[in-house]
Amino acid sequence: MFPAGRLGTVCVRTATNYKRMNGLGKESVRQVEIGDDAVGQRIDNFLARILKGVPKSHLYRILRSGEVRVNGRRVGPDARLARGDAVRIPPVRTAAPQMSAAASPRPARALPIVFEDDALIAVNKPAGLAVHGGSGIAHGLIESLRAARPDARFLELVHRLDRDTSGLLLVAKTRPALTALHAALREGAVDKRYLVLVRGRWRDEKRVVRLALHKYATREGERRVRVDDAMGRESVTTFRRQRVFRAHEPPMALLEAELGTGRTHQIRVHLAHLGFPLAGDDKYGDFAWNKVLAKEGLARMFLHAWRLALRHPSSGATVALEAPLPAELAGYLQTLEQGEAVGA
């Protein structure tokens, strides 16, 4: 998403007049011509980028109803934009800009930059930090990064990590880089690996898990995922055993998880379905066990994106990135190792 008022080479053909109505602004119909900075972007993400403050549910509604048109035609939310496309955007009510300092994104807090060049940034995201604002979160990593770099013309998330997951996160600095990296992700050309700690005696040195996953919403509106062969999408995770802690009660295992697909909550749901709940997982894990872990010193989910390998979107050279375990996870593993030494 571009910062407000920064549309790159997207050209707005008709002027937009904002009216203040009970704290909300209302736009007139706009015809937007797509330029280089939006080529290849999905229409739903494009709308979210330029219609700040509009709930995603409303964006999908105006897409379904045909109020949004590309070159005069209705399109689905996954339609991708091309240079010169004419996008009709209907009048929508958006939250009026708030000028208070409290509402403004704060500059990024000493985010560890693992890699940066003219095309991309790799950040070692800490746990507890959302990657973007929304759903009650004023601002996330990407908004803070933009606030810290006001002169940057383009900063977009390449992929996402859950708020409670730490580790490597890619941010594109150009539209061509974003398009190339998205294509690489779709083609499975990005090697993404995580370190996870689970309950149970994991016996296989290597195990490939193929379980179809289906997204749904609870009655309370919470987003969840379940294994569902009939309705789910193919999902593949390869687990490799790193260490088994037999002296701990219950036994635990440190695994590396390699993603073959990138479904929502994929690793967490696969592990829960197999009977190896992820330590600290407050959505799919063992809640009573999580309380015990917290008393032992593990107060967060043990899920860390530790390695990324990909072809550079500009040069084509292989880029291999690693982020070591954060102190709180490394410290808990050290405690488990000490327990193994005593029990030996």
Q: Tell me: the pLDDT tens digits for 8-62? A: 344 444 333 323 333 334 457 888 888 777 778 889 888 988 887 788 888 888 9
Asked if pLDDT for residue 187 goes beyond 50, the answer is yes
How would residue 153 be classed by pLDDT, with cut points 50, 70 and 90?
confident
Check: CB of residue 270 under 8 Å from CB of residue 261.
no
**More confident of the two residues 43 and 1:** 43
By mean pLDDT, which of 28-37, 82-91, 100-109, 298-307 is the weakest? 100-109
The CA distance from 80 to 71, in Å, is 12
Angle at 331 between CA 166 and CA 262, to 5 degrees: 25
Check: CB of residue 100 under 8 Å from CB of residue 94.
no
Q: Which of 3.30.160.270, 3.20.20.240, 3.65.10.10, 3.10.290.10 would CATH assign to domain 11-92?
A: 3.10.290.10
Average pLDDT over residues 208-228: 91
Average pLDDT over residues 131-155: 83
Q: Tens digit of pLDDT for each residue in 100-119?
A: 444 445 554 568 999 999 99
> How large a percentage of the chain has pLDDT more than 90?
64
- Is the peptide bond preceding residue 251 cis, with omega within 30 degrees of 0? no
Same fold, 11-92 and 113-343: no
Q: Would you kindly state where each structural domain of the chain is located, as residue ranges?
A: 11-92, 113-343
151 is catalytic: no
Average pLDDT over residues 288-308: 96
User: Which of the residues 37, 44, 85, 162 is marked catalytic?
Assistant: 162
Average pLDDT over residues 285-309: 96
The pLDDT assigned to 24 comes to: 36
Average pLDDT over residues 191-204: 97
Average pLDDT over residues 171-195: 95
Burial label for 40, CB within 10 Å (0-12, 13-18, 19+), is middle
The pLDDT assigned to 218 comes to: 85
The CA distance from 327 to 256, in Å, is 18
The pLDDT assigned to 92 comes to: 82
Average pLDDT over residues 81-88: 91
Tokens of 226: 């379940």
**More confident of the two residues 165 and 40:** 165
| Mean of pLDDT over the chain | 85
How would residue 83 be classed by pLDDT, with cut points 50, 70 and 90?
confident
The pLDDT assigned to 3 comes to: 38
**More confident of the two residues 17 and 254:** 254
The pairing of strands 191-199 and 318-322 is unpaired
CATH topology of domain 113-343: Pseudouridine synthase (3.30.2350)
